[in-house]
Amino acid sequence: MVPIESRDMDLRRHLRESGIEPKLRGLICEIAEATKYVINAVRTGDLGMAGTSNLYGEEQLALDVLSDRIISDRLENSGLVINISSEEKDIIVNVDSDNNGLFSVAFDPLDGSSLVDVNLAVGSIFSIYKGENILQGGRKQAAALFVVYGPRTTLIYSAKKGVHEFALNHLGDFTLMREKIQMKDTGKIYSPGGLRSKYLPGHKKFIDFLEKRGSKLRYSGGLVPDINQILLKGEGIFMYPALQGAPHGKLRLLFELYPMAFIVEQAGGSASTGKTGILDVKIDNLDQRAPVYIGCKNDVEKVKDFLKE
């Protein structure tokens, strides 16, 4: 990991100096702007349920619905986007009214939204593709990013030129914290999703192996903060395995796994279903799910031996 060289380097300048093409950097900046409104909603919004009314009879929106609306509106008005698909809506929406769009964006507006009312960290996740096809597959992503709404608001992006972290400062700018984040080959943190009583034998043995090896359990229940921790500590493995009764696990390829796999691979880590690389899994529907092992390269490789048995 390269030490912080300048705390004044903001996201826009970083994208420009990294040689990211102008329209793509414009889109990443639009997304970053939208997330500032999401964090405001998370910090100050009512924890109302969708479809209910507040004291004044106005409709209250659940935070995930509100976040979806904030991000969708911003993308629609950016003039850069053809199609969007949100985890919240589960359809592909054409937003390219003036036919100038160049990209399509899949996003999870507020992942882990059930954690907001217990004040744990949550986040938004984005995948950017060139062109109109949102189901091109993970390897075709032009860029991916996520934003963590925790004690601080941080943004991690990769546009195939390394993985970089920014933090929202008191002036409302995302400024560079860490550049060219790199993961170790093996690590001592594990984040295990899914009910233990539903584990399949190979997965259970892998968990036993990690525990005997002295790995520490670190699981918040939010994909964004859990992956963020592994990435920034530079070590560990997050998993949401195939379970009895759920052979494809829980997490969704398009909105969760592709972008996280893209970022972790760019940081020198790896992501697999236990058999196939996540980015190589072909996708044919928005709701497609896959088991996932993501993090340090050697740990992700090691699990394959256990799952083969």
* Residues of this chain that bind ligand FDP (CB under 6 A): 111-114, 193-194, 221-223, 226, 250-251, 256
The minimum distance between CB 223 and ligand FDP, in angstroms, equals 3
The minimum distance between CB 221 and ligand FDP, in angstroms, equals 5
| CB of 7 or CB of 196, closer to ligand FDP | 196
DSSP bridge pairs for 238: 191, 294
Measured CA angle at 158 (ends 70, 155), to 5 deg: 45
Instruction: In whole angstroms, give the CA distance from residue 245 to residue 252.
Output: 16
| CB of 179 or CB of 256, closer to ligand FDP | 256
The minimum distance between CB 111 and ligand FDP, in angstroms, equals 5
Residue least distant from ligand FDP (Cβ):
223
| CB of 113 or CB of 127, closer to ligand FDP | 113
Instruction: In whole angstroms, give the CA distance from residue 291 to residue 218.
Output: 19
What does the DSSP 8-state code read for residue 19?
T
For helices 258-266 and 223-233, give the axis angle rounded to 10 degrees: 10
The minimum distance between CB 192 and ligand FDP, in angstroms, equals 8
| CB of 10 or CB of 226, closer to ligand FDP | 226
| Beta-sheet strands, E only, within 219-262 | 237-240
The minimum distance between CB 136 and ligand FDP, in angstroms, equals 22
| CB of 124 or CB of 270, closer to ligand FDP | 124
244 burial (CB, 10 Å; 0-12 / 13-18 / 19+) is exposed
What does the DSSP 8-state code read for residue 168?
E
